[in-house]
C-alpha cells in the first residue's frame, strides 16, 4: 500500500473521471426554469430577480482536484508533545539564554575547582585581614570580604549549596505535592476534602514564619544542613504543586481515553500512573521550574536570617548575610553573590515561562 494513500474504501469513488469533468468544467448555464423546486419547505422562487441570477457554476476540476477523503501526508518525523515543544523552544532567545545560564550554574556547582582561583574551604586558604574589604585585584576579580576572603572563590563555592537546596526542594515538592494532588483529584470525594484542607493549612502559614518555628525545634537545630532545610521548604511548598496537579488531574480524569482504558480493564492505579499523570504533568513542570528559583531565594533568605544553612557552609545567602555589616563601606561582597543569585533565579523563571508557552496548547494556537 502506498504510504500516503490512507483510505481504500471510498464511499463515492464510482466512475469519476477528473479529466472528463475538467473538459466540461467551468460551465455556466442559466437555470432551467422548468426545474422548479417541489419540496415542501422550499420557498416560492418567484420575483424578477431569482431566475436571472441563478446560474449553475462548476469549478474546473483540474484546478480543484478532489483529494483522497481523509488523507493526511505522513512525512517528517513523528511529533510528540515534548518534541513539538522542543521545536518551539529552541527558536526562543529567552529559552536559549536561560538554558545556557542554567547550564553554566550547574557546571559551576558540579566542578567548582575549574573556576575558583583558590579553594575557600581548604585548610591552605587563609583569609588575610590585611586584605579586608580590599578592592578587586589580579586573581581576585571581585575583591575581598571584611574578613579578607576572596569574594569570587566564595561565590563559586556557594553555588553548590544554593543549587542543591533549590533542586532537591523542587524534586521533593513535585513528588509529594504531585502525588497528593493527583490522589485528591483522581479519587475526589472525602479524600479530596481531607487532602485539600490539609493543603490549605500549610498554604495559610507564611513560609518564613513557619520555617522560623520549625528550625527552632531541637532536632532541626541540632542537624542544620542542606537536608533539613529541604525538608522544611518541602513541608511548606507542596500545597502549591498539589493544587495545580489536582486541577490538571480533574481536567484529564473524565477524558474519553481514560474511559477507554477503564473499559479495557486497566486498574485505577494503572490509569492514574499511565494515563492521567503523564497528561497532567505539563503545568506542574512549568510551575516547578519557576518555583525552583523561589526556593533558592528562600534558602538565601533563611540563611540571611541565620536559620538556614549553618554558617560553616558556604552559600550565597550566608555570604550576603556576612557581608551586610560592612555594606556601606564595601557593598561589593553583597553585590556579587546577590548577582549570582538573581541571575540563577531569573534564568529558572525565564525557563519556566518559555516552557509554559511551549506546553500550553491554548497559548500555542495563537
| Residue 137: DSSP 8-state | B
Near other proteins by CB under 8 A, which window of 145-153, 177-185, 255-263, 308-316?
A: 255-263
State in angstroms the smallest separation of the CB of 46 from other proteins: 11
* C-alpha cell recorded at residue 147: 574578613
Task: Record the cell numbers describing residue 96, joined without a space.
Answer: 536559549
| CA gap 365, 115 in Å, rounded | 44
| Count of CB atoms situated within 10 Å of the CB of 10 | 11
Least Cβ distance, residue 43 to other proteins (angstroms):
6
**Sign (positive/negative) of CA torsion 334, 335, 340, 343?**
positive
Closest CA to 284 of 246, 251, 258, 254: 246
Complex with other proteins: residue 59 or 107, whichever CB lies closer: 59
| Stretch 56-115 residues interacting with other proteins (CB under 8 A) | 56-59, 61, 64, 66-67, 69-72, 74, 78-81, 84, 88
Binding to other proteins by residue 222, rule CB under 8 A? no
Residue 41 or 328: the one with the smaller Cβ distance to other proteins is 41
- x/- mask, other proteins, residues 337-366, rule CB under 8 A, reads ---------------------------x-x
Q: Which of 90, 107, 257, 339 binds other proteins (CB under 8 A)?
A: 257
Neighbours of 139 (CB within 10 A): 10
Which residue stretch of 103-111, 131-139, 173-181, 249-257 sits at the interface with other proteins (rule: CB under 8 A)?
249-257
Q: Give the nearest distance from C-beta 57 to other proteins in angstroms.
A: 4
Q: Which residues contact 183 (CB under 8 A, 6 or more apart)?
A: 191, 195
Report 275-304 residues binding other proteins (CB under 8 A): 275, 278-279
Q: Which three cell numbers stand for residue 286?
A: 512549568
Stretch that binds other proteins, among 120-128, 189-197, 265-273, 287-295 (CB under 8 A): 265-273
12 touching other proteins, by CB under 8 A: yes
What residues between 20 and 49 interact with other proteins by CB under 8 A?
21, 24-25, 27, 31-32, 35, 37-43, 45, 47-49
**Binder to other proteins among 23, 52, 111, 194 (CB under 8 A)?**
52
- Residue 125's alpha-carbon distances to 112, 128, 131, 281, in angstroms, are 15, 9, 13, 46
* Shortest CB 270 distance to other proteins, Å: 8
For residues 103-135, one letter each, b for 16 or more C-beta atoms within 10 angstroms of the residue's C-beta and e for the rest, the string is eebeebbeebeeebebebeeeeeebeeebebbe
Q: Angle CA(284)–CA(289)–CA(290) in degrees, nearest 5?
A: 100
How many residues contact other proteins, by CB under 8 A? 75
Q: Which is nearer to other proteins, 5 or 113 (CB)?
A: 5
Q: Which residues contact 270 (CB under 8 A, 6 or more apart)?
A: 261
Q: d(Cα 226, Cα 194) in Å, to the nearest integer? A: 31
Residues for the chain: how many in total? 366
Binding status of residue 4 toward other proteins by CB under 8 A: yes
Of the residues 264, 312, 328, 362, which one makes contact with other proteins according to CB under 8 A: 264
| Sole binder of other proteins in the list 124, 263, 312, 329 (CB under 8 A) | 263
Amino acid at each position: 500500500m502506498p504510504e500516503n494513500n490512507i483510505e481504500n474504501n471510498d464511499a463515492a469513488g464510482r466512475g469519476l473521471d477528473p479529466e472528463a469533468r475538467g473538459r466540461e468544467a467551468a460551465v455556466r448555464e442559466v437555470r432551467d426554469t422548468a426545474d422548479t423546486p417541489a419540496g415542501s419547505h422550499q420557498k416560492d422562487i418567484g420575483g424578477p430577480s431569482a431566475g436571472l441570477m441563478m446560474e449553475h457554476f462548476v469549478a474546473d476540476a483540474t484546478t480543484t482536484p478532489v483529494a483522497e477523503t481523509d488523507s493526511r501526508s505522513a512525512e517528517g518525523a513523528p511529533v510528540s508533545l515534548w518534541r513539538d515543544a522542543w521545536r518551539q523552544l529552541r527558536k526562543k532567545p529567552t529559552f536559549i539564554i536561560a538554558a545556557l545560564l542554567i547550564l553554566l550554574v550547574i557546571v559551576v556547582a558540579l566542578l567548582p575547582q575549574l573556576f575558583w582561583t583558590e579553594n575557600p574551604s581548604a585548610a591552605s586558604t587563609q583569609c588575610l585581614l590585611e586584605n579586608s574589604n580590599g578592592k578587586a585585584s589580579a586573581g581576585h576579580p571581585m575583591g575581598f570580604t571584611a574578613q579578607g576572603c576572596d569574594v569570587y572563590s566564595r561565590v563559586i563555592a556557594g553555588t553548590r549549596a544554593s543549587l542543591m537546596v533549590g533542586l532537591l526542594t523542587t524534586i521533593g515538592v513535585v513528588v509529594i505535592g504531585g502525588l497528593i494532588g493527583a490522589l485528591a483529584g483522581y479519587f475526589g470525594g472525602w479524600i479530596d476534602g481531607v487532602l485539600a484542607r490539609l493543603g490549605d493549612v500549610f498554604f495559610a502559614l507564611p513560609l518564613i514564619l513557619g520555617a522560623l518555628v520549625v528550625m527552632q525545634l531541637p532536632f532541626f537545630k541540632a542537624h542544620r544542613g542542606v537536608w533539613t532545610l529541604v525538608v522544611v521548604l518541602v513541608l511548606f511548598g507542596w500545597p502549591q504543586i498539589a493544587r495545580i496537579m489536582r486541577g490538571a488531574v480533574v481536567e484529564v480524569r473524565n477524558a474519553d481515553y481514560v474511559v477507554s482504558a477503564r473499559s479495557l480493564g486497566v486498574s485505577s492505579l494503572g490509569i492514574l500512573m499511565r494515563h492521567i499523570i503523564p497528561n497532567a504533568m505539563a503545568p506542574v513542570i512549568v510551575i516547578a521550574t519557576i518555583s525552583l528559583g523561589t526556593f533558592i531565594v528562600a534558602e538565601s533568605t533563611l540563611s540571611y536570617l541565620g536559620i538556614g544553612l549553618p554558617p560553616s557552609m558556604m552559600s550565597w545567602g550566608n555570604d550576603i548575610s556576612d557581608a551586610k555589616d560592612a555594606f556601606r563601606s564595601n557593598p561589593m561582597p553583597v553585590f556579587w553573590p546577590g548577582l549570582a543569585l538573581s541571575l540563577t533565579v531569573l534564568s529558572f523563571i525565564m525557563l519556566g515561562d518559555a516552557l509554559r508557552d511551549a506546553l500550553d496548547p491554548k497559548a500555542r494556537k495563537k
